[in-house]
Chains A and B, each alone.
Chain A
Amino acid sequence: MMREELLRIENLVTRFYTEYGVVQAVDGTNLYLKQGETLGIVGESGSGKTVTAMSIMGMIENPGKIENGRILLKGDNLLYKSEKEMREIRGGLIAMVFQDSLSSLNPTLTVGEQIGRVLRFHTTLTPHVIHKRVVELLEKVGIPEPTKRYGGYPHEMSGGMRQRVLIAMAISCNPSLLILDEPTTALDVTIEAQIFELIEQLKKHFNMGIILITHDLSVVANTCDRVAIMYSGKLIEQGSVSEVFKRQLHPYTRGLIRSIPRIDGPVDENLYSIPGEVPDLINLPGGCNFAPRCAYKKDLCEKESPTLAEFYKDHTAACLRVKEIEYAE
Chain B
Amino acid sequence: MGVYILKRLILAIPTLIVASIIIFLLVHIAPGDPVRVMLGPIQDQVLVERLQQKLGLDLPLHEQYLTWLGNLLRGDLGISISVQRGAPVAELIAERYMVTLELALLAMTVALLIAIPTGILSALRQNKLTDHISRVVALIGISIPNFFVGILLILFFGVVLLKTWGAGGFVPIQEGLGANLQRMILPAIALGTSYSAIVMRMMRSSMLDVMSKDYVRTARAMGVKRWSVIRQDIVRNALIPVVTVIGNSIGYLLGGSVVTESVFRLPGIGNLVINAVYRRDFPVIQAVVLIIVLLRILVNLVVDLMYAKLDPRIQYTSSE
Contacts and interface: CB of A to CB of B under 8 A. Distances in A.
Interface of A: 57, 59, 87-92, 95-96, 98, 100, 103-109, 117-118, 121-122, 153, 155, 166, 169-170
Contacts of B224: 91, 117-118, 121
Given A96-B221, A153-B312, 16 more contacts: A59-B220, A87-B223, A91-B221, A92-B223, A98-B221, A103-B215, A105-B218, A106-B219, A106-B236, A108-B236, A108-B237, A108-B240, A108-B312, A121-B222, A153-B313, A166-B218
Interface string B222-240: 1111101000110011001
B310 interface: yes
Most buried by B among A105, A106, A117: A106
B222 to A, nearest CB: 4
A312 B306 CA distance: 65
Given A90-B223, A91-B221, A95-B221, A117 B228 contact: yes
Most buried by B among A87, A89, A108: A108
Contacts of B215: 103-107
B313 A122 contact: no
Contacts of B223: 87-92, 118, 121-122
A122 B226 CA distance: 14
Contact of B222 (A100, A108, A155, A169): A169
Contacts, number: 75
A122 B222 CA distance: 9
A278 to B, nearest CB: 24
A104 B214 contact: yes
B313 A59 contact: no
B311 A108 contact: yes
A177 to B, nearest CB: 12
Interface of B: 213-215, 217-226, 228, 232-233, 236-237, 240, 310-313
Contacts of B217: 59, 98, 104
Nearest to A169: B222
Contacts of A95: 221-222
Contacts of A121: 222-225, 228
A325 B78 CA distance: 99
A91 B219 CA distance: 9
A118 B313 contact: no
B313 A98 contact: no
Contact of A103 (B214, B311, B312): B214
A98 B222 contact: no
A98 B214 contact: yes
The 4 closest A-B pairs by CB, nearest first: A91-B223, A91-B222, A90-B223, A103-B214
A170 B233 CA distance: 17
Contacts of A96: 221
A166 B218 CA distance: 9
Nearest to A119: B222
A87 to B, nearest CB: 5
A59 B221 contact: yes
B interface, over-half SS: helix
Contacts of A103: 213-215
Contacts of A169: 218, 222
21 contacts: A87-B223, A89-B223, A90-B220, A91-B222, A91-B224, A95-B221, A95-B222, A98-B214, A106-B219, A106-B237, A107-B215, A108-B240, A109-B232, A117-B224, A118-B223, A118-B224, A121-B222, A121-B223, A153-B312, A155-B312, A166-B218
Contacts of A89: 223
A170 B222 contact: yes
B22 to A, nearest CB: 40
B116 to A, nearest CB: 17
Given A87-B223, A166-B218, A107 B311 contact: yes
Contacts of A108: 236-237, 240, 310-312
A106 B280 CA distance: 55
A155 B237 CA distance: 14
Nearest to B210: A106
Contact of B312 (A91, A107, A170): A107
A247 B233 CA distance: 48
Contacts of B311: 107-108
Contacts of A87: 223, 225-226
B30 to A, nearest CB: 49
Given A105-B215, A108-B236, A109-B232, A90 B222 contact: yes
A170 B213 CA distance: 18
A155 B226 CA distance: 25
A82 B288 CA distance: 63
A98 B218 contact: yes
B168 to A, nearest CB: 44
Contacts of B221: 57, 59, 90-91, 95-96, 98
Contacts of A88: 223
Nearest to B233: A106
B222 A118 contact: yes
A122 B224 CA distance: 9
Contacts of B232: 106, 109, 117
Contacts of B219: 106
A91 B224 CA distance: 8
A87 B228 CA distance: 12
Given A104-B218, A106-B233, A106-B237, A155 B225 contact: no
Contacts of A106: 215, 219, 232-233, 236-237
B210 to A, nearest CB: 10
Contacts of B236: 106, 108-109
Contacts of A98: 214, 217-218, 221
Nearest to B217: A98
B94 to A, nearest CB: 40
Nearest to B223: A91
Given A95-B221, A117-B232, A118-B224, A100 B312 contact: no
